């Protein structure tokens, strides 16, 4: 991408919507760009979005190219070894700070996970993929379930209210706080939350049994307590991203 003002061309990443997509899919794709662009303009902790363009018959989102994702970094570790607390805390705090910025801009991610945390060349973390994010003007009207009735999100990181919005209320930034704790548990344990369980089994554990992902033993007391607060069943009982980032 040639930058304005004659700067050196910058490498970009392109997300493409295949030709033949339905009008609904096209509308959602454009909406994702608008949310992501707004986030990138207002939040340093959001991925940098450049534009939405047509390439032939395909609709494309154009964004900054990042070095890798947090998921890639975890996969590259020898034998999937977990991070130490000393390694994990700076990552966790950067992600919490990014969430704080997004929530201040009235954006709820709803799909926070390691593959949606991108890392630049200097090791800075940013949040990407706003395809199912909620924004202020649509939080009261946009459904939390897909047309097939399946809850939106990635099952291993979903809070109780994302599974059961009818009874527990719409998603707020507290749903992202639950997902943040899932990410922290994953980087500290080397295992994805609820590994080996089906979607229905996870939903039963989270919604019916009020279960939480397994928290690694031996963590510093303050971190252990914080993670347990983030996994509170009632969203109102969880801390905000701002409280975590302090």
pLDDT score at 149: 45
Is the per-residue pLDDT at 153 higher than 70?
A: yes
User: Rounded to a whole number, what is the distance in angstroms from the first to the last CA of the chain?
Assistant: 37
pLDDT tens by residue, 43-75 = 999 999 998 888 888 889 899 999 999 999 988
pLDDT score at 225: 98
**Closest of 171, 151, 173, 172 to residue 163, by C-alpha:** 151
Is the per-residue pLDDT at 185 higher than 90?
A: yes
- What whole-number distance in Å separates Cα of residue 101 and Cα of residue 242? 8
The catalytically annotated residue of 79, 106, 111, 120 is 111
pLDDT score at 39: 92
Burial status of residue 241 (CB atoms within 10 A of its CB: 0-12, 13-18, 19 or more):
buried
**Residue carrying structure tokens 């990443």:** 13
Half-sphere exposure (CA, 13 Å, Cβ side) for 76? 6
Is the per-residue pLDDT at 143 higher than 50?
A: no
Tell me the average pLDDT across 133-158.
Answer: 58
Is the per-residue pLDDT at 6 higher than 70?
A: no
Tell me the average pLDDT across 99-123.
Answer: 93
- What whole-number distance in Å separates Cα of residue 243 and Cα of residue 76? 31
Q: Answer yes or no: 111 catalytic.
A: yes
pLDDT tens by residue, 230-242 = 999 999 999 999 9
pTM higher than 0.85, yes or no? yes
Tell me the average pLDDT across 166-188.
Answer: 93
pLDDT score at 8: 62
- What whole-number distance in Å separates Cα of residue 29 and Cα of residue 21? 10
């Amino acid at each position: 991408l040639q930058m304005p003002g004659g700067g050196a061309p910058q490498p970009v990443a392109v997300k493409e919507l295949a030709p033949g997509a339905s009008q609904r899919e096209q509308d959602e794709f454009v909406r994702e760009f608008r949310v992501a662009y707004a986030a990138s303009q207002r939040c340093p902790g959001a991925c940098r979005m450049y534009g939405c363009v047509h390439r032939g018959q395909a609709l494309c989102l154009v964004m900054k190219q990042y070095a890798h994702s947090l998921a890639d970094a975890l996969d590259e570790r020898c034998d999937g070894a977990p991070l130490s607390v000393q390694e994990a805390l700076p990552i966790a705090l950067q992600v919490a700070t990014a969430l704080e910025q997004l929530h201040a801009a009235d954006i709820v991610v709803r799909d926070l996970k390691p593959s949606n945390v991108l890392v630049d060349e200097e090791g800075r973390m940013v949040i990407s993929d706003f395809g199912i994010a909620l924004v202020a003007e649509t939080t009261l009207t946009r459904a939390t379930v897909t047309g097939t009735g399946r809850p939106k999100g990635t099952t291993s990181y979903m809070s109780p209210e994302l599974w059961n919005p009818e009874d527990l209320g719409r998603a707020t930034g507290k749903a992202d706080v639950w997902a943040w704790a899932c990410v922290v548990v994953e980087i500290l344990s080397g295992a994805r939350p609820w590994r080996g369980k089906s979607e229905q089994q996870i939903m039963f554990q989270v919604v019916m049994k009020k279960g939480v992902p397994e928290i690694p033993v031996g963590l510093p007391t303050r971190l252990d307590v914080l993670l347990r607060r983030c996994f509170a069943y009632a969203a109102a009982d969880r801390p905000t991203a701002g409280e975590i980032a302090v």
